[in-house]
């Protein structure tokens, strides 16, 4: 795996993990509404769910690569389409004023990750676009998925710990931040094709 591929994989993983998604937004809203102590079980549920879903993605991609190799070529283009869609969505998104005020439980955070399409597509796209060409063993795919889950956990942790400060900064500069993130994602999509 070349240096440029690793750099693009990491850029894609970091940008995707740090952009607003269901887990990050729920974590931010929970810490803002309940604080760390009352929200910590939800946060642990989000983190645990992230690792479990990424392990499922590794199994899925391993099965596709091992037994349905031609599908992987198609998956790459589906992944590029998803990255482009994500970039457009990020660049054109608006701030939401809604806040989740329900209880902050472990299971709420854990189950959120199982219905969070963003992280499924994130894991499958990263593996099919960057990793499978170089590593096909289940162990390596799982390792890269655990890297993704760790980056995602760090990102969600940043949303939690920066809480109010990040919310104010993001609110003030959200359009510029989102456009920069979208442009970086478009570069990642471009690198997957060429």
pLDDT digits (tens, 9 = 90+) for 55-64: 999 998 888 7
- What's the angle, vertex CA 118, arms to CA 14 and CA 194, rounded to 5? 60
> Which CA distances in Å does 29 have to 61, 90, 104, 171, 188?
33, 19, 10, 13, 29
Cβ burial, residue 177 (10 Å; 0-12/13-18/19+): middle
Q: In this model, does residue 181 exceed pLDDT 60?
A: yes
Closest CA relative to residue 116, chosen from 147, 149, 165, 150: 149
Residue 29's domain spans which residues?
Answer: 3-193
pLDDT digits (tens, 9 = 90+) for 86-121: 788 778 877 653 344 456 789 988 888 877 778 888
Q: What is the total count of domains within the chain?
A: 1
For 30, the token pair is 């929970």
């Amino acid at each position: 795996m070349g240096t440029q591929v690793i750099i693009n994989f990491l850029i894609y993983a970091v940008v995707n993990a740090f952009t607003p998604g269901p887990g990050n937004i729920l974590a931010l809203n929970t810490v803002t509404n309940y604080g760390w102590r009352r929200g910590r079980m939800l946060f642990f549920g989000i983190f645990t769910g992230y690792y479990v879903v990424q392990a499922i993605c590794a199994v899925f991609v391993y099965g596709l690569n091992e037994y349905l190799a031609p599908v992987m070529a198609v998956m790459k283009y589906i992944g590029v389409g998803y990255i482009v869609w994500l970039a457009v969505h990020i660049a054109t998104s608006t701030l939401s004023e809604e806040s989740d005020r329900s209880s902050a439980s472990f299971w709420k955070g854990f189950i959120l990750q199982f219905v969070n399409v963003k992280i499924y597509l994130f894991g499958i796209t990263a593996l099919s676009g960057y990793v499978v060409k170089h590593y096909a063993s289940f162990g390596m795919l799982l390792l890269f998925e655990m890297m993704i889950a760790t980056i995602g956990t760090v990102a969600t942790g940043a949303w939690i710990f920066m809480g109010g400060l990040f919310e104010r900064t993001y609110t003030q500069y959200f359009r510029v931040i989102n456009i920069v993130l979208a442009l970086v994602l478009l570069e990642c999509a471009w690198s997957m094709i060429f």
